Structure 1
Amino acid sequence: MILDHGGTSPQIDPTASVAASAVVSGDVTLGPGVRILHGAVVSGEQGPVTIGEDSIVLENAVVKSRAGHACRIGDAVMVGPHAHVSGATIGSGSFVATGASVFPGARVGEGCEIRIGGVVQVNTMLEAGTMVPIHWVAVGHPALVLPPDRHDEIWRVQRELDFPGTVYGVERGTPTRQIMRDQSELHRPDSG
């Protein structure tokens, strides 16, 4: 399904394809040979999303911009099933495996691999060719790549990366109810 949002229509190269059960909405540009498979969502409702030549977004993946964070995916990138790329830049030739998450403000260099369930935290920068192992976490600038059982180390870096400010535009400590109320208002169908 191809949807306008806020008066902006997706721009889709004639050689790109979008599966019937996929959603492409808003300020989205799909380059030559791009494939958006069943159940995937590509949302440019909060800013631009650009997907480069011959890139593939597999089943049930989510690729979206965030307020203040465009999403840019280079050429020949695979975004695996159930992966999540939000307001991030993914360099050409990279692989974002099944269930991986790349958060707003993150920059993934060319030829990187984020393996199954891997996480690239907000405002993290991965150098070209970096590999994030299965279920590991990349955090910081430059990135430390750590196993999930080293939570205290991850948190020492992550807390300085300003997740609440980057993702929600609020200060740490803002009540969850207020954040969700603001997000609910932002995502109302008549808000765009």
Structure 2
Amino acid sequence: MLYEHLGSKPRVHDTAVVAPTAVISGDVEIGPHCQVLHGAVVTAEGGPITLGEHVIVMENALIRATAANAVHIGDHTLVGTLASIAGATVGEEVFFASGARVFNGARVGARCEVRVNAIVQRRAVVPEGTVVPIGWVATGDPVQLFSPDRADEIAAAQPELDFPGHVFGVDRDTPDLMVQLTERYGSSLARHADDRPVIE
């Protein structure tokens, strides 16, 4: 289903196929020969999303842009089942396996592989041709790859992430952090109350 959000309607190339149970919302451009399968959600929450040519978004994947971080996905990229990409730039011919996660401000170069349940952290820059192994974490610029059992090293490699501040505009040291975060984010998401289905 296509939804107009914040005055923007999705634009889907006439050769692309969007499953009837997929949700495409807001300032989204889907290029030629793309496939967006059942249960996938592609939602522009204040920033634009562009999918190049021959991009495949598998079942129940999530692609989300924010006002701070748009999304661009290059040609011939596959976004696997249950994968999520938030506010990232992705090159051409990239493979995201099932459960892969890419966070705001990340850049993934052409012909990379982000394997099952691997994570690309906020603002990480993954060079062309890099493989992020199953369950591993990519962080930093230049990128470092860590196995998931190296949590202290992962944290040390990304001291300036400030996820609550960058993504939600709330300082991490706020005494009532989750109260502020959920109220602010909830208010932003409430704008979906005015969304309208796009009738073709």
TM-score range, shorter chain: over 0.9
Contiguous gaps of at least 5 residues in structure 2: 196-200
- Give the corresponding residue for 2:105: 105
Q: In the TM superposition, what is the alpha-carbon distance from 1:191 to its structure 2 partner?
A: 7.0
Q: Which portions of structure 1, spanning 4 or more consecutive aligned residues, are displaced by more than 6 angstroms? A: none
Q: Work out the CA distance in 2 between the residues paired with 1:167 and 1:79.
A: 22
Partner of 1:122: 122
Aligned to 1:88: 88
- Offset, 1:7: 1.1
Identity %: 47
Go from structure 1 to structure 2 and tell me whether the alpha carbon gap of 1:36 and 1:151 turns closer, same or farther (over 3 Å shift).
same
Normalised by the length of structure 2, the TM-score is: 0.93
Equivalent position of 1:53 in the other structure: 53
After superposition, residues 167-182 of structure 1 pair within 5 angstroms as 167-174=167-174, 175-182=177-184
Alignment of 1:6-85 (within 5 A): 6-85=6-85
Is this contact kept in 2: 1:46–1:66, CA < 8 A? yes
> Contact 2:43/2:64 (CA < 8 Å) preserved in 1?
yes
Q: Could you tell me how far apart the structure 2 residues matched to 1:81 and 1:179 are?
A: 28
> What is the distance in 2 between the residues matched to 1:149 and 1:30?
38
CA positional deviation for 1:163? 1.8
Secondary structure at 1:160 match in 2: coil
Asked which structure has the greater RCO (Cα within 8 Å, sep 6+), the reply is: 2
Letter in 2 for 1:179: L
Q: 2:186 aligns with which of 168, 175, 184?
A: 184
CA distance in 1, matches of 2:179, 2:66: 20
Q: Is the 8 A contact 1:185 1:191 kept in 2?
A: no
Partner residue in 1 for 2:198 = none
Q: Deviation per CA, 1:143-173, whole angstroms, max 9, x where unpaired?
A: 1010010000000122322322222123222
Q: Distance in 1 between matches of 2:97 and 2:40?
A: 14
Query: In the alignment, residue 187 of structure 1 is paired with which amino acid?
Result: L
* 5+ long unaligned stretches in structure 1: none
Which residue matches 1:144?
Answer: 144
Alignment: residue pair count: 192
CA distance in 1, matches of 2:40, 2:180: 29
Does the Cα contact within 8 Å between 2:103 and 2:120 map onto a contact in 1?
yes
Instruction: Name the CA distance, whole Å, in 2 between partners of 1:159 and 1:141.
Output: 12
RMSD: 1.2
